[in-house]
Structure 1
């Protein structure tokens, strides 16, 4: 978003589909008596489909979510503590590997409950941090009007669109409005309604009522303008 403008928000706006997960898919998954999406595919098709989804999910998680999180965490620890090396080893690697080991330890010992408790503790930190970034960022650039002035004067294509345009010309090379609208909806449906990372958290609810409440609250937080 910082380099491409508001058009990237199409993918974030699709967070409302968490509501579909809670109201449409949770009852379906519950009746299927499954705890994971690979397990659902096995019951619906065969073991091979379960294996394929498991491998694809693990590889994609490692290359996207896990890799970025570990890198960012190691970098933060290195900057916060101001240590370049420890025992002759780059402190970044010590921090990164340490985070992986600690996370693996409490996940294996505590299971899904420990993961959920960690998420609950992280939520206010993320919200407060996001709010601080917004406030400090706006103060640094001179306020919201200045942001609009700068972004509104930054052209992103040859069709008159600027960084503030959520809907761009359909000939835009990166975010044509039709492609962005349809593409983000398809990806949003897959991620929020069928991805293991999201679905397992909802299925961890005590019952359908609790799962739906969690989905509604999650959708509200996702769409907060912070």
Structure 2
């Protein structure tokens, strides 16, 4: 159960989020301001926003659960992303910023034709709604239900969706990325604290941790018959997935497109990779 201090912290956090939105919002924003923050984002903001957009509630809840059930090979999704981001900083970001595009489908229309733009737009919107957004809202609602058991699942998901939509519409990408900077600090501090508390349960003994789980759960390279992530999937499948997620996914690449110059975009990608 939450104590009074917990409610105070949650209330302050909500007020800070609203204050950030009000502070960075622009009156009568044009499309560049609304969708790309006026192309003024620096490397630090881009990098932390990329990090926070990837490490969401689905990651904090889903990945530890998957690691508990099948082993830490799921961490391959994250470290492989670092390699993709380095490639993005060197090769992809210059192309995207050099064309002064607003969306990835727009780039494909210039490269191919309008049919490719419509296809990617449709696929991106569909996957964003039924996969990324749905998973994040569901995981966020589950977290809130832990602290407030009386909350209905459907109503909580709807409330989170409305709040996120209004917040984004009011402040545009600028409000989103500066909120991401705050989220990054909270995520890193909270994750470090959680790791410390969990490790303390084993008296800070790595031998005790190893003894408490099957040996194969600590292997990043799994055999070909592994049902979750065989080594060939790590070698071939994850890079393909990573290139889509970090370069063709508008939700993520929008941070790069909002960078003020190539140096900021490349530096942000490298910061997120680190």
What is the CA–CA distance in structure 1 between the aligned matches of 2:187 and 2:273, rounded to whole Å? 15
What is the CA–CA distance in structure 2 between the aligned matches of 1:215 and 1:45, rounded to whole Å? 26
What is the CA–CA distance in structure 2 between the aligned matches of 1:190 and 1:69, rounded to whole Å? 19
What is the CA–CA distance in structure 2 between the aligned matches of 1:184 and 1:148, rounded to whole Å? 27
What is the CA–CA distance in structure 2 between the aligned matches of 1:133 and 1:64, rounded to whole Å? 27
What is the CA–CA distance in structure 2 between the aligned matches of 1:7 and 1:73, rounded to whole Å? 24
**RMSD of aligned C-alpha atoms?**
1.9
The answer on 1:104 being equivalent to 2:170 is no
Contact residue 20 and residue 193 of structure 1 kept, 8 A: no
Distance 1:175 1:99, change over 3 A: closer
Distance 1:3 1:40, change over 3 A: same
The answer on 1:122 being equivalent to 2:203 is no
Report the structure, 1 or 2, having the larger helix content. 2
Distance 1:79 1:166, change over 3 A: closer
Bigger relative contact order, structure 1 or 2 (CA pairs below 8 A, ≥6 apart) = 2
- 1:66-215 alignment runs, 5 A limit: 66-82=133-149, 84=150, 90=152, 92-143=153-204, 144-151=206-213, 154=214, 162-215=216-269
What is the CA–CA distance in structure 2 between the aligned matches of 1:218 and 1:100, rounded to whole Å? 26
What is the CA–CA distance in structure 2 between the aligned matches of 1:6 and 1:29, rounded to whole Å? 34
Distance 1:169 1:98, change over 3 A: closer
CA shift for structure 1 position 172: 3.4
In the superposition, the TM-score normalised over structure 1's length comes to: 0.83
Contact residue 70 and residue 96 of structure 1 kept, 8 A: yes
Residue in 2 aligned with 1:14? 80
In the superposition, the TM-score normalised over structure 2's length comes to: 0.69
Residue in 2 aligned with 1:64? 131
Distance 1:95 1:199, change over 3 A: same
Give per-residue Cα distances to partners, 1:192-221, cap 9 Å, x unaligned.
23221221101111111111121111111x
What is the CA–CA distance in structure 1 between the aligned matches of 2:142 and 2:76, rounded to whole Å? 29
What is the CA–CA distance in structure 1 between the aligned matches of 2:226 and 2:156, rounded to whole Å? 42
The answer on 1:45 being equivalent to 2:106 is no
Alignment gaps of 5+ in structure 1: 156-161, 221-226
